[in-house]
Amino acid sequence: MTHVANKALTASFSLTKTASDAFIADTVDEKLYLIERLALALKFDEGTDDGKTLGWADALRMPAYPKGLALVSPRQVGRRRLGTARGRAELIHAIAHIEWHAIHLAIDAALRFEVMPKRFMLDWLGVAVEEAGHFSMLNQHLQMNYQVSYGDFPAHAGMWDMARKTELDVVARMALVPRVLEARGLDVTSEMILGLMRHGDPEGASCLALILKEEVRHVWLGTYWYRYACTLRGLDPEAHFFDLLKKFHTPRTHVSMNILARQLAGFSQLELDQLSLLGQDRSTPNNERHGESNCGPNGALNFAPDGEANSLSQA
């Protein structure tokens, strides 16, 4: 992030206005520029607004995409084979698309839930900055090594669904976005790293290794604020988590959990045991019928450990 590194921010700098502008920016350059400004303000503790007057939750909020990006059903995307440069580029493009959404998810959480303390807003704006870093890193890797940019391939059309479903309830948002969708990213990333290594893209693998490390903390923040919000409402966090999985018809996953990463991200042993049992229950295996994917970062990436990725599954 270099564009604004030497520009001083004024005392009247608005974190929330800049975050809002970044959310609606529909070009890569503009969004990253605004996020850079946000990052500087957070770093130097500038911007005094707390988001409580923005009225963010009063309007429909949808992610902004670069012009020309084709949003399609997962069935139109087909399978990705990491043994070809095209397949690896498509996989990395799919992950970049997930990171693009993750920027929006973090900003939306920061600005939407005014009931939460200012620390909550600052934490999720910080996550937005890191997600932008992930996106930028992957996009640069695509450009330098595959001659591909974000927007060159079709992308998954349903990634905002869970944000819409949980827009009225911070408890549900924290449970189902960081602790379900993003936690599934923790589960699949190690295999993707190995797949890229095996097929001659160690740089791509390094990008994913850094992303995995930072995503653990993002999921941990989800756990922290989920429990905080449960406490405010007098809810038992463990029991309520499974109530929410049921209420929102969260599909089971056939992917093995990354237990260590999930422990570091704050999952309790009881939660891990129960999730493991649910994952093994094949009594209702038709994951697609509820309109969600069954694995992957933000629930949108199927990846087979044999080096073939069925990217952008149902959502």
The nearer residue to Fe ion, 181 or 229, going by C-beta atoms, is 181
Residue range at the interface with Fe ion (CB under 5 A); choices 98-106, 139-147, 152-160, 301-309:
98-106
* Partner residues linked to 7 by β-bridges: none
Q: Is residue 309 classed as helix, strand or coil in its secondary structure? A: strand
Q: Is residue 308 classed as helix, strand or coil in its secondary structure? A: strand
Other Cβ atoms within 10 Å of 207 Cβ, number: 21
Q: How far is the CB of 28 from Fe ion (least distance, A)?
A: 16
- Give the amino acid at 124: W
Q: Fill in the per-residue mask, 18 to 47: x = in contact with Fe ion (CB under 5 A), - = not in contact.
A: ------------------------------
Q: Fill in the per-residue mask, 218 to 257: x = in contact with Fe ion (CB under 5 A), - = not in contact.
A: ----------------------------------------
The nearer residue to Fe ion, 131 or 292, going by C-beta atoms, is 131
Q: Does 134 bind Fe ion (CB under 5 A)?
A: yes
Query: DSSP for 47-110?
Result: ----STTS-GGGS-------TTPPEE-GGGT--EETTSHHHHHHHHHHHHHHHHHHHHHHHHHH
Q: Is residue 24 classed as helix, strand or coil in its secondary structure? A: helix
Residue range at the interface with Fe ion (CB under 5 A); choices 134-142, 225-233, 261-269, 270-278:
134-142
Residue range at the interface with Fe ion (CB under 5 A); choices 22-30, 133-141, 186-194, 258-266:
133-141
Report, in angstroms and rounded to the nearest whole number, the Rg of the chain calculated over CA atoms.
Answer: 19
Q: Does 262 bind Fe ion (CB under 5 A)?
A: no
Per the structure block, which two tokens stand in for 20?
């809002």
Q: Does 102 bind Fe ion (CB under 5 A)?
A: yes
Considering only 36, 123, 131, 271, the residue that binds Fe ion (CB under 5 A) is 131
Q: How far is the CB of 134 from Fe ion (least distance, A)?
A: 4
Q: How far is the CB of 285 from Fe ion (least distance, A)?
A: 29
Please state, in angstroms and rounded to a whole number, the distance separating the CA atoms of residues 201 and 216: 23
Residues 111 and 51 sit within 8 Å (Cβ to Cβ): yes
Query: DSSP for 245-305?
Result: HHHTTPPP--SPP-HHHHHHTT--HHHHHHHHHHHH--SS--GGGGT--SSSGGG-B--BT
Q: How far is the CB of 99 from Fe ion (least distance, A)?
A: 5
Q: How far is the CB of 103 from Fe ion (least distance, A)?
A: 9
The nearer residue to Fe ion, 57 or 210, going by C-beta atoms, is 210
Q: How far is the CB of 127 from Fe ion (least distance, A)?
A: 8
The nearer residue to Fe ion, 94 or 102, going by C-beta atoms, is 102
Residue ranges in contact with Fe ion by CB under 5 A? 99, 102, 131, 134
